[in-house]
Structure 1
Amino acid sequence: MVEKHTGKRICQIIRLKPEYLEKYKECHRSIWEPVARNLTKYHIEDYSIHYAPMFNLLIANMKYTGDNWERDSELSRNDPGNFEWWEMTDEMQETLVEGSTGSRDEKGWWLDLEEVFRNDH
């Protein structure tokens, strides 16, 4: 019997520099085509980013549908289709990952959160 892969849900946070709120929203209203393609290429679906103004936090939720998150994360970090986008958006953000230098850092730029509860019904 073949096991059906149901995907992995991922939640991450990062601090948004408050002076960049409108610029951040604007660039995400017209996401660049290579960046949008790479979400699909690296098995990311149902991706959303929410903003919590009282904490200046961006909260990203996504479903990873591939079978090797570490490999796909590494390939994505090294995909030139993401480089200019991340250069632009990294300037607007402050990481919560100790020692991270940007989106291309293998430590991560957005902080991964542990899922402690889920109800799919």
Structure 2
Amino acid sequence: MIPSDPIVLGAVAVIALLVLLTLVSRLRGPSGEAKESKRAHDAAQERDPPVEIGETYEFGVTELTDHHSGEEVAVGKVEGFVLFTEDIPGDVGKGDVIRAKVLSFNDGRTSADATFVTKA
């Protein structure tokens, strides 16, 4: 039985359109941003890190985020290499330039954990 109520027909049309859009977006694959992130990650795995454990580096904070440790960390890059910096004071924010000491690399050596030393 085909519904004849215009409201029901409209609702069915909207649902069908949403399903179609969802299918099309899934068939198209990852976004350009996701593809670029994957390329950068792959390239990082193929090169030696530009930082060394125990050394201190200066860089700009690109964002503050919750790290797997559960605390807020400052994120920044040294020559495109990501550093997650812990023990940041409350007045450190996005755009600040800080110095941090590298503590360890992640398993794939595509990023490192560091500890805050000072604001630059």
TM range (shorter): under 0.3
Structure with the larger strand share: 2
- Computing the radius of gyration from Cα coordinates, the structure with the larger value is 2
TM-score using structure 1 length? 0.20
**Greater RCO, 1 or 2 (C-alpha within 8 Å, sep 6+):** 1
